[in-house]
Chains A and B, each alone.
Chain A
Amino acid sequence: MKIGKMVTDAAPASGGKSKLINEKGLFSQLTDRTSESRGKLLIYGSALLMIVAVTAITLFLSIQGLRAFVVDHLNFWTFITGTEWFPDRAENPSFGAFPFIFGSMAVTFLAALIATPIAIGTAIFMAEIAKKWGAKVMQPVIEILVGIPSVVYGLIGLSIVVPFMRQHFGGSGFNLITGAIVVGIMILPTVASIAADSIRAVPDSLRQASYAIGATKWQTIWRVVIPAAGSSLLTAIILGMSRAFGEALAVQMVIGNARNIPASILDPSATLTTIITLSMGHTTTGSVLNDALWSLGLILLLISYVFIVIIRFLGRRGEKR
């Protein structure tokens, strides 16, 4: 009400002033609080800055990432398919990043595999079964979980998951599956809260129709609500995966960072992000290893673009239906 009144009050005033502003010139256009162009400038400025930032990051990363191939003459194909990463070896250093690409993918998919069933289950509970309690208690709890910094997840992984894995599965406890568990727990709240939103977005008429033909609550959820929310649920999972893919700190603390392809999920492994964070500080600007690490960063960026493209594609498919 108050806002409505304000708008009606303000409308004639600004209409009257706008003539004056035109006469006053550029400077007062920017300082006058009712000025239309000042708001425009701010909004357009923000949008422009955003676009510039994205373009600049992409360009910068491309230039830095391509140095390894253009300046240092590494072979692009052997870089992404090679399995030996020995940049510091005195005789014939080799740069094969495939183990890290593989490690990143493996952690991401395993984490999604662990997180998805639990996250979707939580989402159904929040949005369908205990609606009131879900909104009042579960939602804030999940929001808190989203806000916990990744280093805390890493520490918990290091002091609880790693010893657990060591005792029950042998070895050192630092391995691929430990990394996937930690990241899986980390992305769980993200996936759950987006999934809950998409379930809530399913129109009630569908549920009522389902009940009307005699379906039970479970049948309604399983056969009507989940298929109807389908593509947005997938979006939630892929958003979680892209977060898992980019995670560095928590993974680095528990995955073991060995640079060969793991023979099983109980072997230590490394990801693109962990190798970058481990080695970057030790390299000098412009050295081959430094350039190669930038190339790993470029690969990361390209793969996360792929994730975004998939999300957009799913979103569009969802709209069409």
Chain B
Amino acid sequence: MKKKNLLAIGMVFVLSLTLILSGCGNGSSSSDSSSSSENSSSSSASLSGKITIGGSTALQPLAAQAAKEFMEKNPDVQIEVQGGGSGTGLSEAQAGNFDIGMSDVFAESKSNIDAKSLKDYQVAVVGMTAAVNPKAGVKNLSKEDLQKVFTGKVKNWKEVGGKDQKITLVNRPDGSGTRATFDQFALDNKTPAEGITQDSTNTVKKIISETPGAVGYMALSYFTANDTSVTKLSIDGVEATDDNVASGEFPVWAYEHMYTKGEPSKLVKAFLDFMMSDAVQTKDVPAQGYLSVKNMKVQRDAEGKQTDK
């Protein structure tokens, strides 16, 4: 009898689990979002409630760090930081499922996102450059040569002043913010030739460091001072440093965006203010390998036009 009973309980459990799971399948976070705005409307001085942040995996570590500090200051606030990719961040922010959608690219660049319905907070700047395997023997390329390398017009490093070594391209997938930025500002919107494609920067770095003649691109934070496994490429003689990005001399950089749907709620606004505060901008932002927006001497609009600040 007991056995039967257990079996019955087990089956009920499995059934309910399936129901719950199938319920969740629709929207990745539809269940979390409903609670967020309601709780935050309590008028007491201390903040409480829940914020759901999601999207760009490049911005995720910074957002997670800031969220952790914000929660320490405001114990009643719960912040959930998810990944998912820039596209997911924008879509879900527009749909209202994320309170904040993180993106590596301007919402304007995605054709089916209504950029006017989203409010843009540029929380950090990320510089990037080409990474080359040390065996290629190049440290600097003119922009023209770099484009020749990436469009496949040049197949061997010796043609652009390097050693006799075949070029292997390492690309990023379509729609990736890193790829979009590199294509736009380093390749001047030329379509790169086919090569290996990987999404994760760590994998890209591993491939470049292990494959003779490999070249790819990644954020500046992944080049560390004593790391000789990959060569950080200068473009047109300008070294890819934070200072050169800030002054606008080095062209390949992008904003990291946080988008809210319309005006943010009080709680979300408080968090975004915290993101822009000195506590985050002077400490966490450089620690995570980004540049603070406040240090930038130039600014850019959604079309990529650069102007002095």
Contacts and interface: CB of A to CB of B under 8 A. Distances in A.
A45 B15 CA distance: 8
Interface string A74-97: 000000000000111110000000
Interface residues of B, number: 47
B237 interface: no
Interface of A: 6, 10, 33, 38-39, 42, 45-46, 49, 53, 56, 86-90, 158, 163, 166, 171-174, 253, 256-260, 268, 270, 275, 278-290
Given A49-B15, A287-B110, A282 B173 contact: yes
B73 interface: no
B85 A282 contact: yes
B8 interface: yes
Contact of B197 (A89, A166, A259): A259
B24 interface: no
A286 B197 contact: no
29 contacts: A6-B1, A38-B8, A42-B15, A46-B11, A49-B15, A88-B180, A89-B191, A172-B168, A172-B196, A173-B211, A174-B196, A257-B173, A259-B197, A260-B194, A270-B197, A275-B173, A278-B173, A281-B85, A281-B86, A281-B88, A282-B87, A282-B174, A282-B176, A283-B175, A284-B88, A284-B110, A284-B113, A285-B87, A286-B91
Interface of B: 1, 4-5, 8, 11-12, 14-15, 18-19, 22, 57, 83-88, 90-91, 95, 110-113, 168, 173-177, 179-180, 189, 191, 194-199, 203, 206-207, 210-211, 214
Nearest to A45: B15
A166 B195 contact: no
Contacts of B12: 42
Contact of A174 (B86, B95, B207): B207
A281 B210 CA distance: 27
A290 B196 contact: no
B195 A268 contact: yes
A46 B15 CA distance: 7
A234 to B, nearest CB: 33
Contacts of A290: 87
Contacts, number: 111
Nearest to A87: B174
A279 B173 contact: yes
A290 B113 CA distance: 13
B172 to A, nearest CB: 9
Given A88-B180, A256-B197, A281-B83, 11 more contacts: A10-B1, A46-B11, A49-B15, A256-B195, A258-B196, A275-B173, A279-B174, A282-B177, A283-B175, A284-B91, A287-B110
Nearest to B18: A49
A174 B210 CA distance: 12
Given A282-B173, A284-B91, A86 B191 contact: yes
A276 to B, nearest CB: 10
The residue in A90, A158, A283 that gathers the most chain B C-beta atoms within 10 A of its C-beta is A283
A278 B194 contact: no
A306 to B, nearest CB: 25
A287 B197 contact: no
Contacts of A287: 87, 110-112
A284 B87 contact: yes
B211 A258 contact: no
A271 B291 CA distance: 37
